[in-house]
């Protein structure tokens, strides 16, 4: 066999493998969307879930998912940003920082159910936070920190050293150079990392089952005082999210339309995660364009 | 070739200026640079005259860039630099020196153009604003003056808000020069500023440097012998981490005292 032929065969095989992967993905997405999209309506997206009758929605779960996502990012973003900046800009290359990096890597491969059980023992029981949004947000922070830190560190590492030297040569301090030159230049990839991690948080169930809880008490959407337990903003109320809701319906749902609700909720979840991914790409590209030309 | 009478040359063929006739902007004494335990530079004893262009030439790895980067302490976190760097009677290599303040007096332009990922205007205004210049009118003036001095105002005056990364390589490098002179340094260090540019951009940069010489002391590393002879007043020849010869550029190129210098400028090695 000559080189040309081998190349042709190899190309064909690689195409087939790639096609196989794409087909699985498209089939999976297609199945969920075809099953679920017909169930989605304004009523479905806004009304509370019903436990025993048909016609329940996912309104509260959807709100909970976004609120938890917001809180988790609020806590994890500053920490990750600080850690990422320290590791890439300030940390000397020695055993200690090597150890920190290894720890972060191990943390990022921790199964989310383990994070959930840790969150249960630590936040729910030890710190007596109960099944609450706060416990859930902390658990999600533990889940999100290592990955976000890594992505921010990498975004900063991709900024050429020439940029830092340019800052130093103008008499700027390291802090000014990092905050005003390096971080802004890395912003497109940092934002992409944040939005992608948001997608992961949004779809997370296992870390939340034992922390944010599995119940979604009725909320009074006219009461925005975070100290009232029925307020949507109250951080101390249990809050079942969309992903947990799907898990719950499928394991113990007794409403007559459980299948339909589950299908609809799954479709909403998938669409949201897809939107996060597209948003990440779009934002990253836009910001990059904005910074590099026009 | 001007008055050689008040220039003395020691046995090592390194010219010293007589302070009565030559104003010295910067000088180094017994400068050594170590990377870990490896010595990068030894005996870098040079004086640089004010409002002149001094060129540092030599083969790759001869230590000329290392030497240049030591002058405004850009090697601080990379290497250990011992010895004195005298600027206005101060040893700026000492620990008491405010390095950030010192670099506002001794600016630098690098080999690869490195504009910030900001607009053309911001590239220049940014560092000024960080030091408290906030008036729009004042900033506008400095931006225009710096761009004029770098001979690019007419090309970019309508595009000041466009990203600097959209400029060509030659324009980016001139923007970097404009950015460096906007903070009004005394001394401008240039590390092979034209080596990544085409011949047209290179000659524009050279013209710019000859203009700037009126107000700035310029020290330039170059591997381009023609460039050194075209624009510089004094030339130092580096080899293996040592300065082998330092003299007026005309002397170096027509009448080198050291055989190695002769070999290098005639293209026999390097």
Is the Cβ pair A293, B163 closer than 8 Å?
yes
- pLDDT truncated to tens, each residue of chain B (270 aa)? 444 444 555 556 888 888 888 899 999 998 999 988 888 777 778 999 999 999 999 998 888 999 999 999 998 888 889 999 999 989 999 999 999 999 999 999 999 999 999 999 999 999 999 988 999 999 999 999 999 988 899 999 999 999 999 999 999 999 999 999 999 999 999 999 998 888 988 998 999 999 999 999 999 999 889 999 999 999 999 998 889 999 999 999 999 988 899 999 888 876
Residue B133 lies in a domain: no
Task: Say whether residue B183 is in contact with chain A using an 8 A CB cutoff.
Answer: yes
Residue A26 lies in a domain: no
Task: Say whether residue B118 is in contact with chain A using an 8 A CB cutoff.
Answer: yes
Residue A281 has pLDDT above 90, yes or no: no
- Reading the block at residue B27, the tokens are 């000088």
Q: Over the stretch A227-261, which tens digit does the pLDDT of each residue have?
A: 888 888 988 999 999 999 999 999 988 888 899 99
SS3 B52: coil
Q: Which residues pair with B26 in a beta bridge?
A: B48
pLDDT for position A216:
84
Is the Cβ pair B117, A163 closer than 8 Å?
yes
pLDDT for position B86:
94
Residue B233 lies in a domain: yes
Least confident among A11-15, A64-68, A278-282: A278-282
Residue B24 lies in a domain: yes
Chain A CB contacts of B101 under 8 Å are 171
- Reading the block at residue A77, the tokens are 């973003």
Residue B255 lies in a domain: yes
Q: Over the stretch A61-113, which tens digit does the pLDDT of each residue have?
A: 999 999 999 999 999 999 999 999 999 999 988 899 999 999 999 999 999 99
Phi first, then psi: give them for residue A22, nearest 5 degrees. -65, -40
Task: Say whether residue A180 is in contact with chain B using an 8 A CB cutoff.
Answer: yes
Residue A14 lies in a domain: no
Residue of A158, A169, A182 to mutate when probing chain B, most B C-beta within 10 A: A169
Q: Over the stretch A38-59, which tens digit does the pLDDT of each residue have?
A: 999 999 999 888 888 888 889 9
Residue A25 lies in a domain: no
Residue A28 lies in a domain: no
Looking at residue B25, which CATH number applies to its domain? 3.40.50.300
Q: What is the mean pLDDT of residues A130-155?
A: 95
Residue B75 lies in a domain: yes
Other CB atoms within 10 A of residue A213 CB: 23
Residue B248 lies in a domain: yes
Is the Cβ pair B110, A162 closer than 8 Å?
yes
Residue B154 lies in a domain: no
pLDDT for position A158:
95
The mean of the pLDDT values for chain A is 92
> In angstroms, rounded to a whole number, what is the distance separating the alpha carbons of residues B227 and B55?
9
Residue A32 lies in a domain: no
**Cβ(B259)–Cβ(B252) under 8 Å?**
no
**Overall residue count recorded for chain A in this entry:** 294
pLDDT for position B103:
95
Chain A CB contacts of B115 under 8 Å are 166
> In angstroms, rounded to a whole number, what is the distance separating the alpha carbons of residues A53 and A251?
17
Chain B CB contacts of A290 under 8 Å are 163
Nearest CA in chain A to B105: A171
Chain A CB contacts of B98 under 8 Å are none
In the sheet that holds B217-221, the strands lie side by side as: B106-109, B187-191, B217-221, B53-57, B234-239, B242-248
pLDDT for position A171:
93
pLDDT for position B8:
54
pLDDT for position A111:
93
Report the gap between the CA of A152 and the closest CA in chain B (Å). Answer: 18
Q: B217-221 and B38-41 as β-strands: parallel, antiparallel, unpaired?
A: unpaired
Domain of B257 in residue numbering reads as: 7-113+187-265
Domain of A283 in residue numbering reads as: 40-292
Chain B CB contacts of A175 under 8 Å are none
Chain A CB contacts of B70 under 8 Å are none
Residue A142 lies in a domain: yes
**Cβ(B125)–Cβ(B142) under 8 Å?**
yes
List A residues 82-141 in contact with B (Cβ-Cβ < 8 A): none
With a pLDDT cut of 70, the percent of chain A lying above it is: 99
Residue A294 has pLDDT above 60, yes or no: no
Number of domains in chain A: 1
Number of domains in chain B: 1
Residue A93 lies in a domain: yes
Compare CB distances from B114 to A162, A180, A292 and report the shortest one's residue. A162
Q: What is the mean pLDDT of residues A14-33?
A: 96
Residue A23 lies in a domain: no
Q: Over the stretch B176-195, which tens digit does the pLDDT of each residue have?
A: 999 999 999 999 999 999 98
pLDDT for position B7:
53
Residue of B117, B163, B181 to mutate when probing chain A, most A C-beta within 10 A: B117
Cα radius of gyration rounded to whole Å, chain B: 19
Instruction: Name, in order, each residue with C-beta under 8 angstroms of A190's C-beta and a sequence gap of 6 or more.
Output: A81, A151, A152, A155, A183
Task: Say whether residue A176 is in contact with chain B using an 8 A CB cutoff.
Answer: yes
């Amino acid at each position: 066999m000559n080189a040309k032929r081998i190349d042709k065969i190899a190309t064909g095989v690689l195409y087939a493998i790639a096609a196989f992967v794409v087909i699985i993905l498209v089939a999976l997405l297609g199945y969920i969307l075809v099953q679920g999209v017909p169930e989605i309506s304004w009523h479905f997206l806004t009304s509370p879930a019903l436990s025993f009758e048909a016609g329940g929605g996912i309104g509260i779960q959807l709100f909970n998912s976004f609120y938890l996502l917001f809180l988790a990012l609020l806590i994890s973003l500053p920490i990750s940003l600080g850690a990422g900046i320290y590791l890439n800009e300030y940390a000397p290359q020695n055993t200690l920082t090597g150890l920190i990096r290894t720890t972060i890597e191990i943390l990022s491969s921790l199964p989310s159910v383990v994070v959930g059980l840790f969150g249960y023992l630590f936040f729910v029981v030890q710190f007596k936070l109960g099944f609450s949004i706060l416990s859930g947000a902390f658990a999600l922070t533990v889940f999100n920190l290592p990955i976000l830190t890594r992505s921010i560190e990498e975004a900063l590492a991709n900024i050429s050293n020439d940029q830092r030297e340019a800052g130093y040569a103008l008499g700027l301090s390291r802090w000014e150079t990092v905050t005003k030159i390096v971080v802004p230049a890395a912003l497109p990839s940092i934002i992409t990392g944040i939005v992608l991690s948001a997608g992961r948080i949004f779809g997370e169930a296992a870390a939340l089952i034992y922390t944010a809880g599995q119940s979604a008490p009725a909320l009074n959407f006219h009461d925005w005082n975070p100290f009232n337990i029925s307020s949507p903003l109250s951080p101390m109320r249990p809050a079942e999210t969309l992903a947990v809701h799907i898990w719950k319906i499928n394991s113990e749902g007794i409403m007559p339309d459980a299948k339909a609700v589950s299908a609809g909720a799954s479709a909403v979840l998938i669409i949201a995660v897809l939107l996060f991914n597209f948003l990440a790409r779009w934002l990253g590209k836009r910001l990059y364009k904005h910074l590099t030309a026009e | 070739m001007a008055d050689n009478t008040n220039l003395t040359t020691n046995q090592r063929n390194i010219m010293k200026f007589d302070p009565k006739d030559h104003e010295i902007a910067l000088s180094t004494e017994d400068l050594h640079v170590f990377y870990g335990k490896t010595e990068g530079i030894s005996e870098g004893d040079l004086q640089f005259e004010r409002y002149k262009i001094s060129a540092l030439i030599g083969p790759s790895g001869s230590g000329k860039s290392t030497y240049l980067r030591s002058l405004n302490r850009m090697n601080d976190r990379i290497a250990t630099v011992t010895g004195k760097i005298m600027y206005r009677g101060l040893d700026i290599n000492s620990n008491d020196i405010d390095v950030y303040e010192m670099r506002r007096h001794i600016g630098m332009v690098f080999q690869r153009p490195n504009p910030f990922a900001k607009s053309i205007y911001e590239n220049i205004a940014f560092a000024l604003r960080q030091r408290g210049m906030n008036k729009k009118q004042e900033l506008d003036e400095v931006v225009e003056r710096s761009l004029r001095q770098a001979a690019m105002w007419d090309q970019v005056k309508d595009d000041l808000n466009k990203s600097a990364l959209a400029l060509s390589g030659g324009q980016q490098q001139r923007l970097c020069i404009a950015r460096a002179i906007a903070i009004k340094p005394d001394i401008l260090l240039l590390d092979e500023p034209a080596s990544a540019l085409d011949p047209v951009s290179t000659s524009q940069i050279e013209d710019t440097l000859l203009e700037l010489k009126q107000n700035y002391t310029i020290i330039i590393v170059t591997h381009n012998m023609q460039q050194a002879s075209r624009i510089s007043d004094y030339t130092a020849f580096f080899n293996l981490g040592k300065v082998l010869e330092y003299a007026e550029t005309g002397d170096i190129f027509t009448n080198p005292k050291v055989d190695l210098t002769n070999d290098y400028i005639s293209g026999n090695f390097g």
